Amino acid sequence: MNAVSPLPTVGPPPANPQASAADCFHCGLPLPENLSFEQIIDGEIRQFCCPACQAVCGAIYDAGLDGFYDRAPQGALAPPPETAKDLTLYDLDEVQAEFVNELGVQREINLLVEGIHCAACVWLIERALEKLPGILNAQVNLSGKRLLIKWDNHRITLSQILGRLREIGYSAVPYDPAVADDHLKKQNRNLLLRMAFAAFAMMNLLWISIALYSGAADSEFRSLFHWVGFSLATPTLLYSGWPFLHSAWTGFRRLHLTMDLPIAIGAIATYSYSVYVTLNPQAGGDVYYDTVVNFLFVILVGRYLEAMSKRQAVYSTQRLLDLQPRAATVLRNGEPQLLPMRAVKADDRVLIKPGEQIPVDG
């Protein structure tokens, strides 16, 4: 049985001088130097960067979902996002009419969830919601960061569902294609900037490499070209390669060996050897700054193409959803009535005119 102690008070920094260099047990971010948020979990003192991470971790352990920390790769977590405090507004029929499908006492909603990073997030959300009474189905789409929920409105409310998501560190809002598209654009733009920076450095290092391979390595310009290569490769490794370095280190610290680890090892090892040759020209040898930058650029291109394919998949899904009819012509008492899809009931007779789409099955 997992044990979580009551939340302690916040005090001054611990006496251990290395405590400020530690990381948050939940999100992996560095701990603040002037505050200490601690909690005893399974007999061990865990430190957190903020009360939100502390509360989320406690909620995860209380629910028996501590396996999440064994599944989460590369520390791709983040502190819980800020959300609207009054979630009861989502229980109003006037608000739900825009985005909730009613199926008798059952209701269905499609949510856009902020904070989903990996398969472990999918596992945590689905398990946490399935434990709630009244939840009929909870299914997460990792690529689109969407959550489809079906629930019994007599047993649980939408505000309680959203509140549970907040407890485990996720913020959810009704799915809006425009909001989802903006989120994907922001991610792709950040990746594109890193890729463009690596491409700029790669093109400049190409000319330096050509000069070195053409004989400059044996001339008085050898040291100059080495330092120019160093000045280009260093910011590229730190900026363009930061996602790989950060995820590899966090994953290694949590004993999760991910695909980013060999990428980081290869880049750092090649860069370190090149720096050694640059600082010790009498030792001889060649530098491989161009290899480091080229390697990062190729990997970033692959990540960018992957992100674009995910975005295209979201677009394709949305186009299919947009093709679905929003209303149907129903015969009531012999008279045709145009009704929204949620108002169509079993045993209704639907009038389909030539060229119209079939709005329902059955």
Can you give the pLDDT at residue 84? 47
pLDDT at 164 over 50: yes
Q: What is the mean pLDDT of residues 114-130?
A: 80
**Three-state helix/strand/coil letters over the chain:** CCCECCCCCCECCCCCCCHHHCECCCCCCECCCCCEEEEEECCEEEEECCHHHHHHHHHHHHCCCCCHHHHCCCCCCCCCCCCCCCHHHHHCHHHHCCCEEEECCEEEEEEEEECCCCHHHHHHHHHHHHCCCCEEEEEEECCCCEEEEEEECCCCCHHHHHHHHHHCCCEEEECCHHHHHHHHHHHHHHHHHHHHHHHHHHHHHHHHHHHHHCCHHHCCCHHHHHHHHHHHHHHHHHHCCHHHHHHHHHHHHCCCCCCHHHHHHHHHHHHHHHHHHHHCHHHCCCCCHHHHHHHHHHHHHHHHHHHHHHHHHHHHHHHHHHHCCCEEEEEECCEEEEEEHHHCCCCCEEECCCCCCCCCCC
Can you give the pLDDT at residue 300? 94
pLDDT at 6 over 70: no
Rounded Cα gap, residues 230 and 236, in angstroms: 10
- Name the pLDDT band for 4 (thresholds 50, 70, 90): very low
Mean pLDDT of the chain: 77
- Name the pLDDT band for 264 (thresholds 50, 70, 90): very high
pLDDT (tens digit, 9 = 90+) per residue, 77-101? Answer: 554 444 445 677 778 877 787 788 8
Top-ranked range on mean pLDDT: pick from 116-125, 151-160, 229-238, 253-262 = 229-238
Q: What is the mean pLDDT of residues 163-169?
A: 81
Distance from the Cα of residue 324 to its chain's centroid: 29
Can you give the pLDDT at residue 22? 64
Can you give the pLDDT at residue 195? 94
CA 108 → CA 47, 90, 149, 212, 323, distances in Å?
38, 13, 6, 64, 19
The pTM for the full model equals 0.52
